[in-house]
Amino acid sequence: MKADPSAQVRLLDLQDLDSRADQLRHHRKTATIRLGDKSGKYKKGQVVSVLVGQRFGVREKVFDAVIDKVEVKQLQEVSPREIQHDNPEIRHIDEFTHFLGQLYNREVTEEATVTVIHFSEIRG
């Protein structure tokens, strides 16, 4: 099953090129945590293309995926397991808060609203 290019397929852009692509290819990254409420954009069962690359730059498609679950919560409610599914190198909320601040180039607090998007690769 491939993402239908004629449909308005959403893209999961993952910005940390080499390490993110490696984590995705080896199934160590199975979720993405986005700042803000993205529940209107991403829905369970939706087929998406998972990409790595810089915003407004060249991106590489890693694979197509299906969204398994979308949850909106405060960053302080995100579990260590969910954090590791997004970034296997981070285990604590304070580290992840700092990571998101760098990613979004702004201050992020543990009270911030985030969307946890769990996904599975589509093979074949």
pLDDT tens, 12-55?
444 444 566 666 665 668 999 999 999 999 999 999 998 887 77
Structural domains of the chain, ranges and CATH numbers in brackets: 11-121 (3.10.400.10)
Distance between CA atoms of residues 34 and 114, nearest Å: 5
Over residues 52-80, the mean pLDDT reads 90
pLDDT at 114: 98
pLDDT at 6: 37
Per-residue pLDDT tens for 71-114?
999 999 999 999 999 988 898 999 999 989 988 889 999 999 99
Please indicate, yes or no, whether the overall pTM of this predicted structure exceeds 0.85: no
First-to-last alpha carbon distance for the chain, in angstroms, is 7
Higher-pLDDT residue of 70, 58: 70
Q: Is the pLDDT at 65 greater than 80, yes or no? A: yes
Distance between CA atoms of residues 8 and 116, nearest Å: 21
Of the candidates 11, 109, 10, 117, the one whose C-alpha atom is nearest the C-alpha of residue 71 is 117
